[in-house]
Amino acid sequence: METTEPTTSKSLPFNNLFLNSGVIHGLNEWWMYVLGIFAAMFGYFLAQLFMVFPLMAAAANNGITMTDIQEHPESLFDPEKIGMNKNIMLALLFSMFVFTLAFLLLVIRRVHKKTLTSVITAYDKIRFKRFFFAFGIWAAFLIISVSLAYFLNKDEVTIQFDPVNFAFLVVVCVILMPIQTTTEEIIFRGYLVQGLSQVFKNGIVPLIITSVLFGMVHMTNPEAKAYGWVTMLPYYAIFGFFLGAITLLDEGLELAMGIHCANNLISSLLITSPNGVLKTDAIFVANSENPGAEFVTWSVMALFTFIIFWRKYRWKNFNLLIK
């Protein structure tokens, strides 16, 4: 059992300590949250602006003209088309989240007068045991699912293992991937949920809104273009809802952060695909994709993960999802 105590206050508007953490810490004017989101977006696009220069230089060296880029802007982020090393491309993509988190943290600390911990958890300290437990559970399920996919269908899932490139991939992912996933969790399941709960006076509406927003921001991914919004938006939104529900039930982001980090990190190391957002030197490559089958697999993983958490952490108060 972890002994970290939850933050308390004389006036608690919610029965959920995580939502209360957003109220009792710092300043909470509506315009501050708007400023925080704009600051995060500014950091993201500022990093993207700087990232464009090396990408365009690589594209030019590979014979791609400005006209080609204007007609197919997505090609600029395809390392094979512009002749850039996949791991360098990956590091550049992840750098955008370093800027995003830095600018958001600036507003949280200087404008809201909050600590980052208060946005992550209702407890005095971040519960890292929960993070690593969730990471391990989700990573194990991913390894099992990818292994089964390979052994059951070797024509569609093939090995492309390159020890040198894979070693560089591991370094990039281990250092930068947690920043990317943590940033998304802090924004969607932490900062926005706490802020919107003070507007709607409950947790369920912010959970729904942020889940849809989480889905929408992922609609710029290649798989959304390949399979359409009707297929991919529900998948990402449901994933967001799953992570948000766990956050409210556990009164902190640690479990959601662990799952999200494992999902992106282990997936990037294990398998890549033609329409995947991250083109990596993974161990396996999927030559074709089946979004329906992937969603069924994900649903089974999510169900078993939830049951494990529910039993381990003895969740009983499901009103935490509402208020």
Look at 22-31, 245-254, 255-264, 283-292 and tell me which has the smallest mean pLDDT: 283-292
Q: Do residues 85 and 135 share a domain?
A: no
Interatomic CA distance for residues 170 and 168, integer angstroms? 5
**195: nearest Cα among 118, 258, 106:** 118
Q: Do residues 222 and 99 share a domain?
A: no
Q: Do residues 149 and 285 share a domain?
A: yes
Q: For residues 241 and 209, is the Cβ–Cβ distance under 8 A?
A: no
**191: nearest Cα among 100, 317, 93:** 100
14 belongs to a structural domain:
no
Interatomic CA distance for residues 317 and 309, integer angstroms? 14
**pLDDT at residue 3 greater than cutoff 70:** no
Q: Do residues 176 and 100 share a domain?
A: no
For residue 267, which phi and psi values (nearest 5 degrees)? -60, -40
225 belongs to a structural domain:
yes
**Per-residue H/E/C for the chain:** CCCCCECCCCCCCCCCHHHHHHHHCCCCCHHHHHHHHHHHHHHHHHHHHHHHHHHHHHHHHCCCCHHHHHHCHHHHHCHHHHCCCHHHHHHHHHHHHHHHHHHHHHHHHHCCCCCHHHHHECECCCCHHHHHHHHHHHHHHHHHHHHHHHHHCCCCEEECCCHHHHHHHHHHHHHHHHHHHHHHHHHHHHHHHHHHHHHHCCCHHHHHHHHHHHHHHHHHCHHHHHHCHHHHHHHHHHHHHHHHHHHHHHCECHHHHHHHHHHHHHHHHHEECCCCCCCCCCCEEECCCCHHHHHHHHHHHHHHHHHHHHHHCCCCCHHHHCC
For residue 26, which phi and psi values (nearest 5 degrees)? 65, -155
Mean pLDDT of the chain: 91
Q: Do residues 229 and 308 share a domain?
A: yes
Could you tell me the pLDDT band of residue 1, with boundaries at 50, 70 and 90? very low
Q: What is the pLDDT of residue 190?
A: 98
Interatomic CA distance for residues 208 and 197, integer angstroms? 11
84 belongs to a structural domain:
yes
Interatomic CA distance for residues 106 and 171, integer angstroms? 28
Interatomic CA distance for residues 171 and 90, integer angstroms? 11
**pLDDT at residue 2 greater than cutoff 60:** no
Its sign, for the CA torsion 114, 5, 174, 242, is: negative
Q: What is the pLDDT of residues 190-224, one digit of tens each?
A: 999 999 999 999 999 999 999 999 999 999 887 88
Q: What is the pLDDT of residues 92-142, one digit of tens each?
A: 999 999 999 999 999 999 999 999 999 999 999 999 999 999 999 999 999
Could you tell me the pLDDT band of residue 9, with boundaries at 50, 70 and 90? very low
**259: nearest Cα among 239, 289, 286, 274:** 239
Q: Which residue has the higher pLDDT, 71 or 213?
A: 213
248 belongs to a structural domain:
yes
108 belongs to a structural domain:
yes
Specify the number of domains making up the chain: 2
Q: Do residues 151 and 103 share a domain?
A: no
Q: Do residues 102 and 195 share a domain?
A: no
2 belongs to a structural domain:
no
Q: Domain span at residue 67?
A: 27-113
Residue with tokens 């090995």: 159
Q: Do residues 265 and 311 share a domain?
A: yes
Q: What is the pLDDT of residues 231-277, one digit of tens each?
A: 899 999 999 999 999 999 999 999 999 999 999 999 999 999 877 77
Q: Which residue has the higher pLDDT, 253 or 279?
A: 253
Q: Do residues 131 and 222 share a domain?
A: yes
Q: Of 88, 113, 138, which residue is a domain's last? A: 113
1 belongs to a structural domain:
no
Q: Do residues 297 and 150 share a domain?
A: yes
Interatomic CA distance for residues 31 and 128, integer angstroms? 32
Supply 3's token pair: 């002994």
Q: Do residues 242 and 182 share a domain?
A: yes
Q: Of 113, 142, 160, which residue is a domain's last? A: 113
Q: Do residues 166 and 198 share a domain?
A: yes
* CA distance to 14, 166, 182, per residue, from 24 (Å): 11, 46, 23
Q: Of 91, 113, 135, which residue is a domain's last? A: 113
Q: What is the pLDDT of residue 70?
A: 78
271 belongs to a structural domain:
yes
Residue 157 Rama label (left phi>0; alpha psi -120 to 50; beta): beta
